[in-house]
Structures are given as C-alpha cells and as structure tokens.
Amino acid sequence: MTERKPAGVSFESWVDKQIREAEQRGDFARLPGFGKPLPGLERTYDENWWIRAKLEREGVSVLPPSLALRKEAEDARDEALGARSEAEARRVLTEMNERIREALRRPPEGPPLTIGPLDVEAVVEEWRAARA
C-alpha cells in the first residue's frame, strides 16, 4: 500500500477501497493464524496483556532467578504427583534436582537460594499413596 490517497477522495472511501482490493487479491487469507481462534480470549481482560505477552515470548521472568527456581521446584513436585507412572515421576524430580544442584553450585542473582534437592523417595511414596 505505497500509493497515496488521491486528492478529492475521502479518506474513509480510499481506505475501504484498499481493503476491498486486498481481500479480492486474497492478501488476508495468507496471514499467519488465519482461521484459528485468537489466543487468550478465554482470559479476563488485562490492560497490560501486551506487556505480559512480550515477556512470555522473550522468555523474560519477572521473578528473580532464585525465586523462579523455587516456583519451578513446586511445579515439578506437583507434576511428579500427577505423573502417569513412577518412572515419569522420578524423571521429573531427578531433572529438577539437577537444576537445583546446579544453582547451588553457582548461586543465581537475587535473594539467597533457600531450597535443597527434592526428596525423590518421599514424593514417590506420596505418588504411590495417592494411587492406592
């Protein structure tokens, strides 16, 4: 759309013409996500939605690394308790423990890291008890 609006034509009719011609060429049918629902429509309105979306796309965390790791450890424990098999639960816990041990070797920025490795056997016992 590099052409300029001709003199004497109202802006609205000129824009409408541009849109109609683009539709006829099929320019809108080739857009990414065409025919798919808009993401996030089920969420309540947040005036800062675009900031949150940008942070999510860029992988930026608003939590300091040590607090983010604590949250990930809680999520990993919950994931292990909801695992389909004992092997999967052990895998989730083992991977999280590796990340915790790495953080303990090289402490992250921010508040001190106040967690230790997860007790795999205790969580697996909880997992077994929940399925009994």
DSSP 37-59: PPTTTTSPP-TTHHHHHHHHHHT
Q: What distance in Å separates the CA atoms of residue 41 and residue 74, rounded to the nearest whole number?
A: 28
Q: How far apart are CA 125 and CA 9, in angstroms?
A: 76
Question: Residue 48: is its pLDDT beyond 80?
Answer: yes
Secondary structure letter of residue 28 according to DSSP: G
Summarize pLDDT for 79-104 with one digit per residue, the tens: 999 999 999 999 999 999 999 999 99
Q: What are phi and psi of 58, to 5 degrees?
A: -85, -10
Please give the pLDDT value at position 38: 82
Instruction: Look at residue 2 in the predicted model and tell me its pLDDT.
Output: 57
Within 13 Å of residue 83, how many CA atoms lie on the same side as its CB? 21
Tokens read off for 59: 């992988």
Count of Cβ atoms closer than 10 Å to residue 77 Cβ: 19
User: Residue 61 has what pLDDT?
Assistant: 72
